[in-house]
Amino acid sequence: MKNISVNKNIAWSTALVKELAANGVRFACISPGSRNTPLTIAFASNKKIKKYVSIDERSSGFFALGLAKVKKEPVVIVTTSGTATAELYPAIIEAYKQRLPLVVCTADRPPGFLERGANQTINQQNLYENHIRFFKDMGIPKLTVNKIKNLRKTVKVGVDISLYQNPGPVHFNFPFDKPFEPDNFTDKIDPSFKNVFQNKNSVSYFSIKPTKDFTYSKKLFKNLISDINKFEKGIIIVGPENYKDDFHKKVVQLAGKLNYPILADGASQLRFTANSKKNLIANYDAFLRSPKFYRKHKPDIILHFGKTVTSKSLEDYLADIKCQKYLINEYGDIFDSSNNTTASFKFLPSVFCNELIKKLVKKQNKHDWLDLFLNADSITNVIKNKIITEAAFPTESRIITEVINLIPEHSNIMLSNSMPIRDFDYFAPNTNKKITVFNNRGASGVDGIISTAAGIAERSKKTTVLLTGDIAFYYDINGLLIAKNTSAPLIIILINNNGGGIFRVLPISKYKNVFAKYFLASHNLNFFALTKGFSGKHTIIKNWEHFKSSFKTATKRHNLQVLEIKTDSIQSFNVRKQFWSKVRQSL
């Protein structure tokens, strides 16, 4: 049989793409460039993988992050060489901290070019070194059976790590020598060799199965049980995480058995489910600001599921307590900035609850401890309903309660950092409406927020509401380009207080000579004109009634929509302060 003429870069990239597809990769976010031509052509020719194109790599990285978040699926990002690769760093950091499987494929010049001062050439060797779970430079393509098998094996190892072994982003660097085009042949290969490019199954001699085993010390688990049996005063904290559904039921069941209150973070989903809300406390941030309350009510044991909590007052409370504190999350990670953890269990939270429920034979604790928390929660709720949910337009905190009332069931909310996620944590009530909440709380950047929300809307195919401040909106204005074409409506609620409102609560705000210029950074941007530049629909909200009607209209449209509320951060802080002080007085 006649040998086949191929371009070795494209053949090499095709082997990569086939292996990715064989390992279940279905999405790739690609940015234009020349050096990545072979990668781009190989992805473009693969029907199993859906492609998204973003001009701006920073936006592409965050869009990929949003896609990956929804179902924790692997998402590929492809870039050219040079600074394009560095643009991905913020999204990679966030993926690292949130353990999301981004598979980064950067094109590079061949070895030696860096030393020669070649164009668009930087040192890409393990560029993301401190925030990556695996790195491999793939070397210059060589079309031998062994080399291709090795390439496929390495890809498989990387994807396995990103999904199962040590979840998070992984990086493959691809140096290529010209030519890059399909008809620019470099090699002739034997037809029998074609099967190494085949899609079907991934190379069979190497297979790591996803593990369902959770490693934990049996002795520690025994200690935990004995602590639970010993102590009446316990608290369950449910930190931010997109938990599997059965966890909600299990944790409520566990809390019911122990008579422990559950402090449910706004970003934990727990406040938004039709399941039982028994023992669930949403208003703890406010009542833990009361020294009278927190000095008197200190637990002996804490079970903390998921990530670090959003609430600063809860963090302060935790830092002040000497007790047995057990963390439980899928990876055994430490999410405890107060740094007084007894042990961290590597356990799926729902499985952990099940195990505990099975093993606990103890008689029920008394109700008194739980009642103290439930009582404080309901007093706070009454005050919240008066001060926040009836606050005058355009108080920032009320935007949260309005959105939760208006948002259709089964939608998503993406929370930007700074005040939106905090206000949400302070004020989002318990409701039976099922809403899925997302955040970029891994590194809490105010960058990439619009692109992340766009990725969430695209992958979930569900109406997605983004709550963002003006600075975060400005940071990711490039994201509006990809946000324009999502397959489900993306409604951006732009809370415009003309600068970084959060800085007003910092002690530096008193230093008038530096505060406005270096911290608040008012910009007077015209967001109407900016949104129009991306052909988006923009509405300036005039009052709460107008917000209601505009929101309802927005849920029926399909394109990019921005509802801008011009707020006053000082007035908004005064309302929060009034609320907290009323809670303090009432407890």
Ligand X SMILES: Cc1ncc(C[n+]2csc(CCOP(=O)(O)OP(=O)(O)O)c2C)c(N)n1
**Residue 473 C-beta: closest distance to ligand X, Å:** 7
- Smallest separation, CB 582 to ligand X (Å): 23
Report the residue number, 349 or 501, with the smaller CB distance to ligand X: 501
Burial of 242: CB neighbours in 10 Å, binned 0-12, 13-18, 19+: middle
Nearer to ligand X by Cβ, of 79 and 468: the residue is 468
Give the one entry of Mg ion, ligand X, none that residue 444 binds, where binding means its C-beta sits below a cut-off of 5 to 8 angstroms depending on kind: ligand X
* Cβ(474)–Cβ(545) below 8 Å: no
Choose the one of ligand X, Mg ion, none that binds residue 447, judging by a C-beta under 5 to 8 angstroms depending on kind: ligand X
Q: Widest CA span of the chain, in angstroms?
A: 89
Cis peptide before 394 (omega within 30 of 0): yes
Of the candidates 18, 16, 10, the one whose C-alpha atom is nearest the C-alpha of residue 173 is 16
Q: Which does 502 bind (CB under 5 to 8 A by kind): ligand X, Mg ion, none?
A: ligand X
Span near Mg ion by CB under 5 A; candidates 102-110, 146-154, 501-509, 545-553: 501-509
**Which residue's CB is nearer to ligand X, number 22 or number 449?**
449
* Nearer to ligand X among residue 302 and residue 467 (C-beta): 467
According to the 3-state scheme, what is the secondary structure of 441-490? CCCCCCCCHHHHHHHHHHHHCCCEEEEEEHHHHHHCHHHHHHHCCCCCCE
Minimal CA–CA distance to 62: which of 97, 87, 26, 33? 87
Min dist. Cβ of residue 131 to ligand X (A):
15
3-state SS track over 42-87: HHHCCCCCEEEECCCHHHHHHHHHHHHHHHCCCEEEEECCCHHHHC
| Crossing angle of helices 569-586 and 396-406, rounded to 10° | 80
> Of the two residues 85 and 496, which places its CB atom closer to ligand X in the complex?
496
For residue 449, the minimal CB distance to ligand X (Å) is 8
Q: Which residue is nearest to ligand X (CB)?
A: 469
SS3 assignment, position 99: coil
Closer to ligand X by Cβ: residue 167 or 500: 500
Q: Of Mg ion, ligand X, none, which one sits near residue 196, judging by CB under 5 to 8 A according to partner kind?
A: none
Q: Which stretch binds Mg ion (CB under 5 A): 127-135, 262-270, 392-400, 462-470?
A: 462-470
Shortest distance, position 547 Cβ to ligand X, whole Å: 18
C-alpha distances in angstroms, 350 versus 26, 241, 428? 28, 12, 24
Helix (H) or strand (E) holding 582, with range, is helix 569-586
In the structure encoding, which two tokens stand for residue 452, read together?
């992340």
Amino acid of residue 151: L
Distance CA 271, CA 248 (A): 10
Closer CB to Mg ion, 113 or 528, in the complex: 528
* Extended beta strands in 99-181, E state: 102-108, 134-137, 170-175
In whole angstroms, how close is the CB of 506 to ligand X at the nearest point? Answer: 10
Q: Look at residue 510 and give its three-state secondary structure.
A: helix
480 binds, among Mg ion, ligand X, none (CB under 5 to 8 A by kind): none
User: Which residue of 497, 561, 567, 572 would you call a contact of Mg ion, by CB under 5 A?
Assistant: 497
C-beta closer to Mg ion: residue 169 or 445: 445
Tell me the closest approach of the beta carbon of residue 134 to ligand X, in angstroms. 25
What DSSP line would sit under 525-561, residue for residue? --HHHHHHHTT-EEEE--SHHHHHHHHHHHHH--S-E
From the CB of 501, what's the least distance to ligand X, in Å? 3
Number of separate helices (H) and strands (E) present in the chain: 22, 20
> 3-class DSSP state for residue 173?
strand
Nearer to ligand X, 6 or 502 (CB): 502
Smallest distance from Mg ion to CB 469, Å: 4
Closer CB to Mg ion, residue 442 or residue 501? 501
Quote the least distance from Cβ 475 to ligand X, whole Å: 7
Minimum distance, C-beta of residue 339 to ligand X, in the bound complex (Å): 22
d(CA 228, CA 551): 47
82 binds, among Mg ion, ligand X, none (CB under 5 to 8 A by kind): none
* Contact range with Mg ion by CB under 5 A, out of 7-15, 229-237, 450-458, 470-478: 470-478
Residue 282: strand, helix, or coil: coil
**Residue 173 binding partner per list ligand X, Mg ion, none, with a CB distance cut-off of 5 to 8 Å that depends on partner kind:** none
Q: Is residue 492 within 8 Å of 468, Cβ to Cβ?
A: yes
* β partners of residue 154: none
Q: Which of 469, 479, 489, 536 binds Mg ion (CB under 5 A)?
A: 469
446 binds, among Mg ion, ligand X, none (CB under 5 to 8 A by kind): ligand X
| Residue in the structure block whose two tokens are 């010993």 | 230
Which residue, 224 or 446, is less far from ligand X as judged by CB? Answer: 446
Q: Which stretch binds Mg ion (CB under 5 A): 137-145, 195-203, 496-504, 514-522?
A: 496-504
Peptide bond preceding 179 in cis form (omega within 30 of 0): yes
**With respect to Mg ion, which residue has the nearer C-beta, 448 or 489?**
448
CB of 258 or CB of 446, closer to ligand X: 446
Minimum Å distance from CB 230 to ligand X? 42
SS (H, E, C) 187-243: EEECHHHHHHHCCCCCCCCCCCCCCCCCCCCHHHHHHHHHHHHHCCCEEEEECCCCC
* Residues forming the site for ligand X (CB under 6 A): 416-419, 444-447, 469-472, 497, 500-502
Position 313 contacts Mg ion (CB under 5 A): no
> Which one of 396, 458, 470, 476 is in contact with Mg ion (CB under 5 A)?
470
Q: Which position among 501, 531, 547, 573 is part of the footprint of Mg ion (CB under 5 A)?
A: 501
Nearer to Mg ion, 224 or 446 (CB): 446
Q: Considering the complex, what minimum distance in angstroms separates the CB of residue 87 from ligand X?
A: 13
Q: For residue 576, give the DSSP letter.
A: H
At its nearest, how many Å lie between ligand X and the CB of residue 527? Answer: 11
| Contact set with Mg ion (CB under 5 A) | 469-470, 497, 501
